[in-house]
Chain A
């Protein structure tokens, strides 16, 4: 116990007495943590955006005008029981017309329709959301088999609607690609940041290898030598995390409006604000983890008897 307190005390003392070295290591730590936070932010942003895009993609089945209410109810139940389907919304002819009329971009057309009075040309439909967008075509095929009364006139994925089908396919491809590239980039930057901080701490310890040698000769155990260095490394993490957050909070406040305006990042920013405590804990945890593990690894070489 007394040894533990001494190790802790020595760690703090070393931090202050090697002020320049500590400052350099802390600076690198800040940069590392900012890079990591930035990537975490980007990853969440990309994920949220992709989820938004994907949720907009759905399968629409247009129903024949001749289909009865019973037939529609029956098919809706069957579709809902398909394991790949998340939700089914029935849009009646009247609903479809209302939707069309309420859309701003259709105002001109709506006016002209009202003038000519051609009735309601819109078919009733099912708006289906699927669990996995990659399997939307399979779901489409299965539903066709379920449709015993043949009330489905056409599907948004049918050959006739080739263009829309392609768009869906492209969105799937692009979003998968973006997610993959993002993951690879994050890992690459994480590794680079870790190497930089590890090397900084390694060099800091290397300049003090003679001290380590002396401690060994005086009869210090491995833990008595290693302990203070690990404490010191963790303190770089604590200091780095504190300064990183001090820099990040006003920065986010400053560029936040721009992000919301240009990139539609509002939901991401809100989710960050809601999880601010987690962000703080994460940055501190990461800093302490990187600092202590780097110190541990860097000192191992010098501790061989």
Chain B
């Protein structure tokens, strides 16, 4: 519940299994983003419990929030890349904040850039690459720490269909490697083509949860 008494989400009860690929759909303002903000503890629930892996969000103290965020990879619609850092540095930053050794960073970053197909663009700045490429940098940054969960909040929202598909395929590939993927979108074609679990949220409530879902609103 927000301070102005708007209820963003209520009575949401979900269980997502490890290695699952889940799509959350809902129109703008339905509460998708709030759900994700709750998961990375940018927002606190008024009531209710959130447990990710073995971490209970009620008992984690403030100083550990950065550590929690390092375990969950998040990709945003607006990429959220650091404009003053190159592609390579953006990805390396995720490791630097975790205190990973420099030699380890030098080994891991090129590998992950290769996975997302950006080996050639390590030394350019985010302003010099396309939206699709930016989103791949963001995914690389989220993945480089080997998170158990990757949350993609409308990653295709700012992209054309071709680039959108590239991103979705990348997410599927990541899921195949064993990472739980949580995707939110309102792209009908993508949801219907995925043939994965779909959770539909409307006005803050889960209205549908199907094993092989379709986009219905």
Taking the nearest CB of chain B, how far is it from the CB of A247, in angstroms?
Answer: 30
Fill in one digit per residue for A126-147: 1 if any B CB lies within 8 Å of its CB, else 0: 0000000000000000000000
Binary contact track B52-93/A, C-beta < 8 Å → 1, others 0 = 000000000011011111100010100011111000000001
**Which residues of A sit under 8 angstroms from B93, Cβ to Cβ?**
215, 218, 220
Render A17-51 as a binary contact track against B, CB cut-off 8 A, 1 for contact. 11000000000000000000000000000000000
* Residues on the A chain within 8 Å of B70, using CB: 218-219
A219-B69 contact in complex given A2-B99, A224-B97, C-beta closer than 8 Å = yes
- Residues of B within 8 Å of A211, CB to CB, are 82-84
Tell me if A214 counts as interface (CB < 8 A to partner B).
Answer: yes
Contact of B141 among A17, A216, A218, A220 (CB under 8 A): A218
| Contact A214 B80, CB 8 Å, known A3-B99, A305-B62 | yes
With A and B bound together, what is the CA distance between A61 and B93 in angstroms? Answer: 81
Q: Give complex CA distance A14, B62 in Å.
A: 27
Alpha-carbon distance A196/B99, docked complex (angstroms): 36
Contact B82 A17 (CB under 8 A): no
Which chain B positions have C-beta within 8 A of A224? 96-97
**Taking the complex as formed, is A267 at the interface, i.e. its CB lies under 8 A from any CB of chain B?**
no
User: Contact string, A215-255, partner B, CB cutoff 8 A, digits 1/0?
Assistant: 11111111010000000000000000000000000000000
Residue A6 CB within 8 A of the other chain:
yes
Are B101 and A2 closer than 8 Å at their CB atoms? yes
Expressed in whole angstroms, the Cα–Cα distance for A215 and B98 within the complex equals 12
Which of B76, B80, B84 is within 8 Å of A17, CB to CB? Answer: B84
- The answer, yes or no, to whether B40 is at the interface (CB within 8 Å) is yes
The answer to whether B66 and A221 have CB atoms under 8 Å apart is: yes
Taking CB atoms, residues of chain B closer than 8 Å to A220 are 66, 93, 97
Q: Which of A2-18 contact B (CB under 8 A)?
A: 2-3, 6, 13-14, 17-18
Which A196-221 residues have C-beta < 8 A from chain B? Answer: 211, 213-221
Chain B residue at minimum C-beta to C-beta distance from A10: B96
Q: Is the interface of A mostly helix, strand, loop or mixed?
A: helix
How many chain-A residues does the 8 Å CB contact rule pick out?
20
B82 near A217 (CB under 8 angstroms)? no
What are the residues of chain B within 8 A of A222 when measuring CB–CB?
Answer: 66
Using a CB-CB cutoff of 8 Å, which residues 88-112 of chain B contact chain A? 93-94, 96-99, 101-102
Alpha-carbon separation in the docked complex, A18 to B85 (Å): 11
- Within B19-66, which residues are at the interface with A (CB < 8 Å)? 40, 42, 62-63, 65-66
- Chain B's closest residue to A9 (CB) is B96
Contacts of B69 in A (CB 8 A): 216-219
Indicate if the CB atoms of A219 and B80 lie closer than 8 Å.
no
Beta-carbon contact of B82 and A219 below 8 Å: no
* In the bound complex, CA of A219 to CA of B84 (Å): 18
Alpha-carbon separation in the docked complex, A214 to B126 (Å): 14
Residues B94 and A219 in contact, CB atoms below 8 Å apart: yes
Cα distance A3–B93 in the bound complex, in angstroms: 12
CB closest residue in chain B, given A2: B99
Closest A residue to B42 by beta carbon equals A217
Shortest beta-carbon distance from A95 to chain B in Å:
78
Task: Return the contact of A18 from the options B84, B94, B102 (Cβ within 8 A).
Answer: B84
CB distance from B112 to the nearest CB of A (A): 14
Contact of B98 among A17, A18, A216, A219 (CB under 8 A): A219
Q: Chain B nearest CB: distance from A128 CB in Å?
A: 68
B129-182: which residues lie under 8 A (CB-CB) from chain A?
A: 141
Contacts of A217 in B (CB 8 A): 40, 42, 69, 74, 76, 80
Minimal beta-carbon separation of A211 from chain B (angstroms) = 6
Asked if A219 and B97 make an inter-chain contact with CB atoms under 8 angstroms apart, the answer reads yes
For the complex, what is the distance from the CA of A222 to the CA of B94, rounded to whole Å?
14
Task: Report Cα–Cα, A61/B150, bound state, in Å.
Answer: 94
| Bound-complex Cα distance A224 to B94 (A) | 11
| Closest B residue to A6 using CB positions | B96
A residues 254-305 touching B (CB-CB < 8 Å): 305
Closest chain A residue to B79 by CB distance? A214
Q: Contact check, A214 vs B82: say whether CB atoms are below 8 A apart.
A: yes
CA distance A61 to B97 in the complex (A): 78
Residues of A within 8 A of B96 (CB): 6, 224
Residue contact A2 to B98, C-beta cutoff 8 Å: no
Cα–Cα distance between A130 and B146 once the two chains are bound (Å): 80
Q: Give the residues in chain A near B84, CB-CB below 8 Å.
A: 13-14, 17-18, 211
Q: Can you list 6 A-B pairs, Cβ within 8 angstroms, ordered by A?
A: A3-B99, A213-B80, A215-B82, A219-B67, A224-B96, A305-B65
Q: Across the A-B interface, give the 9 residue pairs with the lowest CB-CB distance, nearest first.
A: A219-B70, A219-B69, A220-B97, A17-B84, A214-B80, A219-B66, A221-B66, A224-B97, A218-B94
Query: Residues of A with Cβ closer than 8 Å to B?
Result: 2-3, 6, 13-14, 17-18, 211, 213-222, 224, 305
